[in-house]
Amino acid sequence: MKLKTLFILSMVLIFSVLLSGCSASAMRTNSWSGLSADADNAYLANGTFVYAITLKNGGQLWQYPAEGADSKEAYFANPVLTDDGQLLIASAGSNHSLTSLDTTNGTANWTFADAIAPWIGSPTVVDGTIYAPNSDGILYTLDMNGNLLWKKEIGGALWSQPVSDGKMLYITSLDHNVYALDLASQEIAWSVSVEGALPGSAAIDEAGNLYVGSFGSNVASISTSSEAIAWDSEIAGWVWDAPTLDGETLYVGDLEGNFHAFNTSDGSEVFAPVKLNGPITGSPLVLDDFIVVGTEGNLETEEFGKAYAIDREGGIVWQQTINGQLYTAPVQGGDLILFSPVEADAVLVALDLDGRQAWPFTPAK
């Protein structure tokens, strides 16, 4: 009986440790990062911190919170720079906080913490009003001082940054719908359903057409005038992030590692999909000479993610291996291309336009 009891006690102990481990790994706070940049600085949301980094040499300007990590915060969303010098950071942690930082020194201007669920997507600013989608399915509207103006239940979990043409706000939802919210009436004017969940934003062109990719393994164009799908192209894998417009071409990556280019007029493919070394979860970055995308790499073979530069005919101009997985969309900062790998020591890597590493940024321990 003694042996049996000891055995059960040992099992319980192992079980507790394993279960705690499961929980921790499920909510790894550094599992995703958010990135934005202006001409001089990069802003990186990573785990429990947000960093400002100078593009000159990758040196840290400040970190938020300055005094140390708050375990209730977890920053996944891309920080948003506003015209009046605020940096909006949204937390997926248990605090459910949306905070405005002063970009000059990283101190908090205000915090909005009335949402009931984590923030996965970034807010967007239209005409001096902040529209913040939450995974509770509600769109929170704030003034630039963080005061709640109104809120609207949209539906599903909202994980992506809304886009706007000034009159309407277009919100994609994990409930498979694209919602058009009339900013004047604050009511949903119309919605269009697509094949699968929409974790990424829509892209919008000057004619008012929306382009979305979904977990239905498709890319669709939605006409905002007819409020219906104009074309729908099937592809091999699920689409995670927003497609990127480049004139009359639409670029998008899928989770099967294919890089696609579509004609915006009819959804036909410009060139055959380019197969890369792993799933593509970030939107492509369009530059003058090529398009840049990052990959997760291959987890089974432990192959790191890669940055690819692809020309407009589908040829690979250069490729650069970066330690870690590249989940977040690359961002241009000055003459540099920025990637924020996860599962790596360097949480931000800057490449020049030839794909050579300019500098890595590793936070001080």
Residues that bind another protein (CB under 8 A): 1-2, 4-5, 7-8, 11-12, 14-16, 18-19, 22-23, 26-28, 31-32, 76, 92, 118, 120, 135, 156-157, 159, 174-176, 195-197, 199, 215-217, 238, 240, 255, 279, 281, 296, 327
Smaller CB distance to another protein: residue 234 or 248? 234
Smaller CB distance to another protein: residue 94 or 268? 94
Smaller CB distance to another protein: residue 69 or 299? 299
- Residue 43 in contact with residue 36, Cβ under 8 Å? yes
Q: 25 — phi, psi (to 5°)? A: -70, -30
Smaller CB distance to another protein: residue 194 or 202? 194
Shortest distance, CB of residue 69 to another protein, whole angstroms? Answer: 18
Shortest distance, CB of residue 59 to another protein, whole angstroms? Answer: 29
**CA–CA gap between residue 307 and residue 158 (Å, rounded):** 28
Smaller CB distance to another protein: residue 228 or 299? 299
**CA–CA gap between residue 338 and residue 163 (Å, rounded):** 23
**What one-character-per-residue DSSP string does 152-206 give?**
EE-SS---S--EE-SSEEEEE-TTSEEEEEETTTTEEEEEEE-SS---S--EE-T
**CA–CA gap between residue 88 and residue 50 (Å, rounded):** 10
Shortest distance, CB of residue 114 to another protein, whole angstroms? Answer: 17
Residue 69, both tokens:
């990590």
CA atoms within 13 A on the CB side of 34: 30
Sheet hosting strand 348-351, strand order edge to edge? 331-333, 336-339, 348-351, 357-361
Shortest distance, CB of residue 8 to another protein, whole angstroms? Answer: 6
**CA–CA gap between residue 32 and residue 44 (Å, rounded):** 11
Smaller CB distance to another protein: residue 131 or 215? 215
Smaller CB distance to another protein: residue 1 or 207? 1
**What one-character-per-residue DSSP string does 57-69 give?**
T--EEEEESSS--
Question: What Cα–Cα distance (Å) separates residue 227 from each residue in 128, 155, 231?
Answer: 27, 18, 12
Smaller CB distance to another protein: residue 146 or 278? 278
Shortest distance, CB of residue 344 to another protein, whole angstroms? Answer: 15
Residue 239, both tokens:
């689409």
Shortest distance, CB of residue 73 to another protein, whole angstroms? Answer: 14
Sheet hosting strand 129-133, strand order edge to edge? 124-126, 129-133, 138-142, 148-153
Shortest distance, CB of residue 24 to another protein, whole angstroms? Answer: 11
Shortest distance, CB of residue 110 to another protein, whole angstroms? Answer: 26
Q: Determine the Cα angle at 63 with ends 284 and 364, to 5°.
A: 95
